[in-house]
Structure 1
Amino acid sequence: MKLKGADQLIGKLKRNANLGDVKNVVKMNGSEMQRSAQRYAPVDTGNLKRNIKYNSQDDGFTAQVASEAEYAAYQEYGTRYQSGKPHVRPAYHEQKSKFVTDMKRLMK
């Protein structure tokens, strides 16, 4: 997700919210997205589901959820022989609106 106006957002957050609150929102939404992606993941052996990882970066201001199984892209996007079974994209689109709502709540 790209965030435009990050400098203005950070300035407003410094005035209105504790940066620890922002880190908590990022962490909470990142872990919810991980659980959602695991829920959407097709399960045969469980390897794909186990390899959906959450990583915190930028001192807690960035959450990264990635499907790290070597065949994850084939499951997500499909091949010419099989259609894809997306698991990360639906989780992202589901979590995006929740994250924006949580950040707006901090801005009030």
Structure 2
Amino acid sequence: MKITGIDALQNKLRKNATLDDVKHVVKSNGAQLTTRIQKYAVFRGHYEGKKFVKPTGFTKRSVILSLSRNNLEATTGPTSDYGGYLEVGTRFMGAQPFVKPAFDIQKKIFLNDLKELTK
């Protein structure tokens, strides 16, 4: 597998943007993604036997942003043990996606921000 165009992108970034600009884009997009995930983390609740149990909001509160590699890498998502089950569902429960829709929207914004740095 060969990826082409990386050298051209790096050269363009060196000419037009500083590393601080890239760090700012990563940090701001990571924060926006965290907010977007929390906005989409609205769940319906579930039944335990015949009793309906309201959602507690724990998964929404567990979404945190972590910056690493000198603020060049942003990681965000739910830290609850069952966040993955909510995202993809189980055989007993339908999926209630909240990370992927937020990521799909933010991905486009992030790529546009990086393109702006190269202009």
TM-score normalised to the size of structure 1?
Answer: 0.89
Distance 2:110 2:24 in 1: 11
Could you say what the CA RMSD is over the residues aligned between the two structures, in angstroms?
Answer: 1.7
Query: Is the CA contact 2:37–2:77 (under 8 Å) kept in the aligned structure 1?
Result: no
Give the helix-richer structure, 1 or 2. 1
- 2:65 corresponds in structure 1 to 54
Partner secondary structure for residue 65 of structure 1: strand
Partner secondary structure for residue 63 of structure 1: strand
Q: Which has the larger radius of gyration?
A: 2
Give the strand-richer structure, 1 or 2. 2
- 1:94 corresponds in structure 2 to 105
Instruction: Give the total of aligned pairs.
Output: 106
- Give the residue type in structure 1 aligned to 2:67: S
- 2:47 corresponds in structure 1 to none
- Structure 1 portions without partners, runs of 5+: none
Alignment partner of 1:36 is 2:36: yes
Distance 1:49 1:64 in 2: 16
**Following superposition of structure 1 onto structure 2, how do residues 1-40 of structure 1 map, counting pairs within 5 Å?**
6-40=6-40
Alignment partner of 1:71 is 2:91: no
- Structure 2 portions without partners, runs of 5+: 44-54
Quote how far apart the aligned CAs of 1:97 are: 0.3
Quote how far apart the aligned CAs of 1:7 are: 5.0
Partner secondary structure for residue 64 of structure 2: strand
Query: Is the CA contact 2:77–2:99 (under 8 Å) kept in the aligned structure 1?
Result: yes
